[in-house]
Structure 1
Amino acid sequence: MAELEIEVKHLPEYLSELKKEARASMELESGVISIFPMYKEQNPTEITIVEIYADKKAYEAHLETPHFKEYKTNTLKMVQSLKLIDMTSIDSTTMYLIFKKLH
């Protein structure tokens, strides 16, 4: 999971870059299960991205993709803070059911 705070003056540009990167990750990387960005309704500059990868190797491969590197370069000046939180699923079977419901 990634928690970010974006400078308000850069928010529209940041959101555009984030949408582009999330879509490319989902479409181009088989190891990316989810790149799901959300913002707090009370404060849209506070963004959380739920990222789910098939495994650690898929995450490491994601960091080396051209679209991720472009996103990082283009948004570096826009991000006030970034906190990465490693999480582990308690019940991976239930996670599968969540995505199955989307069909």
Structure 2
Amino acid sequence: MSNYAHSQQAEIMVRISEIEIHPEHLEKYKEILKVEAEASIRLEAGVIAIFPMFQKNDPTQVRILEMYKDKQAYQAHLKTEHFQKYKTGTLHMVKSLKLVDMEALDMETASQIFRKLKN
């Protein structure tokens, strides 16, 4: 791994949020999450990715790939108005939440994903 890729990996914070939503709140939750994710990407320079997904076989199982420039960017994200609105507005909709911090195996190759998306 090059020194550049290694220093980038040391800075970037990657997390997967594993969320289970109460079925009766699923559609409203997805609406609120979509707004929050879009605002995070548009308004926060330190947010690299907020990529919400749900399992095809069980849409109440939501996963969010989160990437931040560094831990300070993550801490700043938590204080934003759009995140606070999401968090307080969906608290009763969430059955379970698990935050899993991740380490990239190959950040150098992973960075190519974003270059490919531009084309």
Query: Corresponding residue for 1:90?
Result: 105
Query: Corresponding residue for 1:78?
Result: 93
Moved over 6 A (4+): none
Distance 2:75 2:108 in 1: 24
Identical pairs, percent: 53
> Cα RMSD between the aligned structures?
0.6
Structure 1 position 31 matched with structure 2 position 53 = no
TM-score between the two structures when normalised by the length of structure 2 = 0.85
Query: Could you list the per-position Cα deviations for residues 42-76 of structure 1 after superposition, in whole angstroms to 9, with x for gaps in the alignment?
Result: 00000000000111111111011110000000000
| Unaligned segments of structure 1, at least 5 residues | none
Deviation of the 1:92 alpha carbon:
1.5
Structure with max Cα Rg: 2
- AA aligned to 1:31 is G
> How many corresponding residue pairs?
103
| Unaligned segments of structure 2, at least 5 residues | 1-15
- AA aligned to 2:87 is K
Query: Corresponding residue for 1:17?
Result: 32
Tell me the secondary structure at the aligned position of residue 83 of structure 1: strand
